[in-house]
Structure 1
C-alpha cells in the first residue's frame, strides 16, 4: 500500500502545493476586525475542499469570533472514530518585514512554500486532506477505513476564546475514540518523532503605575517613581543565575521526566549549532541541569513577550511615564495548574514590588490551557510510530511539544485520548516573517496519515 500512496502523492504533488497556495492567499487573520470576512472565506474554502474530498457532512459553525469548520465521514460501522483538530486562522503579518514574498502571496522556492499559514496550520490541515485522498485512492476505497470527524477552529491564534462553548454545544456530535491534534512541530525533517506531550499555556499582564500622569522629566527627574525602572527590576528578578523561575512554589508540583523519556530525548539528533541555526535564537540559556530538549518539553518556563513604557512610537516627550506594561507567557507542565501558578504569581508581585508604586496584575487563569500527556500504553502511539516510519522512510523517535493548546479541553469534552501529529518544523518561522513549509515534509506527513488510517482498525 505504501508504494501506491507514494505514487498518488507524487503524481498530485503540484496540485497539493497549488491548493495550499490558494488557501494561503486568504488572509484569515484572527483578532483583526477588518479580516473577519476573510476568516469566513477561509472557512468556506476548507468546507469546499472537504466536500471535494468526499466528506458527506460538512458544516461551518459560527461563533462570536472566527467560524469553525466541521466535517464528518462515518461510514464504517464498528471501526474506530477519530476526531482531527486543527485551526485555519493565522497570525497578523507586516508586509515590510517579509523579503521572500508578501505574506499572502505564496511562492514556491527551493522546496518550500512561503506564506502566512503555510505551516501554521493550513499546511497541517491539507496534509490530512491529502492523506485521506491518498488512503482512498491507494486502497480503491469509497470511504475511509475508519470513521473520521474533523474540527478546524478559527480562533486558535488568539486563545480559542469560544472553543469550549463550541465543544459543549456539540459534545455528542464530536464523540470519538481518539483525537489527532494537528498543530504541532516535528523535531527534524530527516528524523521524525512521535510527539507525546504538550505544555500548558497561560498569559499574564503586569502594569506598574508610577506618577498619576506622564510628567516632564525636567520637572520631576530624580525623586519621581519611574515605572519602567521598577518593572525592569521586577522582570530581572524573575529568574535566578541558574535560569530558574524565582516565584515561590513554582516548581513544587513539577514532575521530573522519567529516565526512559530522558533517554528517548537524548536519542534525538541534537547539537547547539544545529539548534541555533534552525531556531534563530542566537544563544542557549534556560534552567541549569537539563538539556535543551528537556527544557523545551518537560520543564516550565516564563517568558516576557512585550514591554511597553514611555513613548514607543514617535518622538519622545521627555516625560517620566505614568505606566509601564509587560506581557508574560507562562508555559507549564504536568501536575502544575493555571490557577496555582496564578496565585503564586500574585503573591510574588505583591511581595517584590516597591511600596512607591501601585500595580495591576491580570492573570486570566480560567482561560489557561492545561498541559497534556498521551497515555504511554495507548495503542495508537505504536500505530502512529509505524505509520511515520512508512511515511518518512525511517524509524520515529519520541519528543514533546514546547507550545500549548486545547488538548485537555478536547480530551475532556470528547471523552477520548489525544495523539499529536504535525508537519511543522522549528525552522518554519511560525508567527514570524517569511513563514514557510517544507513540501517534502507535507508529502511525508500525508503518506504517514494514509498509512495510519490503514493500520488503525487492527490496533
Structure 2
C-alpha cells in the first residue's frame, strides 16, 4: 500500500495526469496479484478508472459492486510536518501520506478482506466487481459516462461505496446515509478594472464588500440557510434516529482535537452529530478578491469570487437547491454590480440506504462481529455519488469506509489508523460470507 501512496495521483493538477495513469496501472496489477481474472484500466475523456471483476463459481450468487477512487486531493507540501505528502511514513500505528485514508487505504482494505474471505476457496461466494475512478476529487466529471458506457459490466444487486468513515475505533457504527452537495462559483464585479482608492474611495462600489454582504446573507443568526424553500423538502430525522445519535459518545473537546476546529457553530437546536448527518448546511470553500501576487497598493478590487458548497439531506434534490440559489441571488442583486453564478454540473443528491434491506443488516452484523459489540447506524457528513450509482445500477447502496474524523482528509499530514484497516478487513471478510443469503440476486 505504501508504494501506491507514493504515486502522486492528484487529479486537480494537469501536471500529475501521468501519475493518475500510473496509479490506475498500479491498482490493476494489485487486482491481478489478488487473483482477479479480469482487471483493466478504463480510459475516459479525462482521467482513468479501474475495473475489476471476479465471478463467483455459483451462477446464482448475487453481485456486489464496490465503488471508490484512486485519485487524491491536492497538497501544499510546505504545510506537511510529519512527512512529505508522497513519502509515506509508518509511525505509532498510523500510515501518513496523501491518500493513505482517502481513499487508497479503503480500497486496499477490500483487497485484503477478499484474500481473507477466499481462504481455501477458488472464487468468492459472491461475484465481486470494483469500479475505482480517478476523478472523484474533481467532482467525478466522467462518472456518468462510465456508468452509461459500461452498464452491462457494472450491473449489480448491491453497491457499496467505500469512501466514508467509522465514528471511532471504539464505537462500532455503520453509515446508512450520506448528504448530497451543490457547489457553485459566485463572481461579483463592481468596475471595469481595479480602481485606485485614493481617487474613488467612498464613491465607487467594492466587489469584495458586496460579495461579503451576500455571503453573510446566506445564513441567519440561528445558523439556518436563507434560500427560499430550502427547508421545504428536508426530512426531519425520526425520534429513533435522533435517540440513536444521542447515545453515541460525543465530547466537544475531543472532536475539536481530532478535526482541528476551534468551535462547533451551526444550526441552533441540533447537536453536532445531528448537524453533520441529518441537517443541511452551506459553506464558503474559497473567497478571493484583489491582488494576490503583489501588495494591494490601495486598490479597490474590480471583482471578487466565492466558491459555495451546500450539503443536502433527504429528501432534498440538488437541482431544486440550485434553482433556489439562482432565485435567491436575483432577489439580492443591487445596482452598480454585475453577478455571475456558475453551478457545477456534478451536483449530487443525498441518499439513504433502505432501512430494512437485508444487505444493510448483514453489514451491520459484520461490523458488530469485528468490534465484538453491536453497531449503530450513523450518517456521513460528506457527499458521495450514491444516488447516481443507485439509479444507474438499479440497486441499493451500502456505505463502508475505514476513515476516521481525525484522519485529516484533504489537509496536511493525512493519515490512516492501521487498526481501522484491520477492523475493516475483518468486517468486510465477514460481510462477503453473509451476503449470499442476505441479498439474493434480483436479476
Query: Could you say whether these structures have the same fold, taking a TM-score greater than 0.5 normalized by the shorter chain as the test?
Result: yes
Task: Give the aligned partner of residue 9 of structure 1.
Answer: none
Asked whether the equivalents of residues 230 and 353 of structure 1 are also in contact (C-alpha less than 8 Å), the reply is: no
| 3-state SS, counterpart of residue 174 of structure 1 | coil
Write the distance in 2 (CA, Å) between the matches of 1:136 and 1:314: 60
Residues 99-118 of structure 1: pairs in structure 2 closer than 5 A: 99-118=81-100
SS of residue paired to 1:273: helix
Contact 2:197-2:298 within 8 A present in 1 as well: yes
1:445 to 400, 424, 433: 424
- Correspondent of 2:326 among 327, 337, 346: 346
**Helix, strand or coil at the partner of 2:383:** coil
Within 5 Å, which residues of 2 pair with 1:172-191?
172-191=152-171
Residue equivalent to 2:217: 237
The count of corresponding residues between Structure 1 and Structure 2 is 437
Partner of 1:5: none
Match of 1:163 in 2: 143
Aligned pairs for 1:280-359 within 5 A: 280-359=260-339
Q: Distance in 1 between matches of 2:218 and 2:162?
A: 33
Structure 2: tracts of 5 or more residues without a match: 439-443
Deviates more, 1:42-51 or 1:306-315: 306-315
Quick one: distance in 1 between partners of 2:429 and 2:102? 21
The Cα shift of 1:78 comes to 1.2
SS at structure 1 position matched to 2:382:
coil
Separation in 1, partners of 2:279, 2:293: 36
Unaligned residue ranges in structure 1 (runs of 5+): 1-19
Counterpart of 1:389? Answer: 368
Q: How much has 1:315 moved relative to structure 2? A: 1.9
Distance 2:84 2:276 in 1: 31
Please state if 1:33 is matched with 2:33.
no
Equivalent position of 2:187 in the other structure: 207
Match of 2:229 among 230, 242, 249: 249
Q: Deviations over 1:289-338 (max 9, x none)?
A: 11111111111111001110011232223211110111001111112112
Task: Identify which of 85, 102, 105 aligns with 1:123.
Answer: 105
Q: Deviations over 1:149-174 (max 9, x none)?
A: 11100000000000001000111111
Q: Is residue 182–residue 321 contact of structure 2 (8 Å, CA) maintained in 1?
A: no
- In the TM superposition, residue 353 of structure 1 has moved relative to its aligned partner by 2.8
Residue 88 (str. 1) matches residue 70 (str. 2): yes
TM-score, normalization: structure 2? 0.97
Residue range with higher mean Cα deviation, 81-90 or 255-264: 255-264
Provide the rounded CA distance (Å) in 1 between the counterparts of 2:386 and 2:47: 19
The 8 Å contact of residues 311 and 317 in structure 1, kept in 2 or not, is answered as no
Q: What residue number does 2:441 align with? A: none
**Corresponding residue number in structure 2 for 1:13:** none
Quote the Cα distance in structure 2 between the aligned partners of 1:412 and 1:178.
12
Q: Distance in 2 between matches of 1:296 and 1:313?
A: 36
**Deviation per residue, 1:363-415 (Å, 9 max, x gap):** 23x42111110001100111111111222232211100111111111111111
Given candidates 39, 49, 54, the residue that maps to 2:30 is 49
Aligned to 2:236, what secondary structure does the other structure show?
coil
- Per-residue deviation, 1:273: 1.5
User: How far is the alpha carbon of 1:136 from its aligned partner?
Assistant: 1.2
Q: Distance in 1 between matches of 2:256 and 2:420?
A: 21
Listed one character per residue, the Cα deviations across residues 420-445 of structure 1 (whole Å, up to 9, x for unaligned) are 00000110000000000000100110
Structure 1 counterpart SS, 2:262:
coil
2:389 to 393, 410, 423: 410
Q: Is the 8 A contact 1:205 1:328 kept in 2?
A: yes
Provide the secondary structure at the position in 2 that maps to 1:437.
Answer: strand
Residue 74 of structure 1: aligned partner = 55
The residue aligned with 1:15 is none
Task: Calculate the TM-score normalised by the size of structure 1.
Answer: 0.94
Equivalent in the alignment of 2:343: 363
Q: What SS does structure 1 have at the residue aligned with 2:406?
A: helix
More helix by share: 1
Instruction: Quote the Cα distance in structure 1 between the aligned partners of 2:97 and 2:318.
Output: 34
Moved more, 287-296 or 106-115: 287-296
Counterpart of 1:97 in structure 2 is 79
Taking the aligned partners of 1:444 and 1:313, their CA distance within structure 2 comes to: 47
1:354 offset after TM fit, Å? 2.1
Partner of 1:277: 257
Shift of 1:62: 0.1
Query: How far apart in 2 are the matches of 1:112 and 1:59?
Result: 30
Q: 2:132 aligns with which of 152, 172, 176?
A: 152
Q: Is the 8 A contact 1:196 1:420 kept in 2?
A: yes
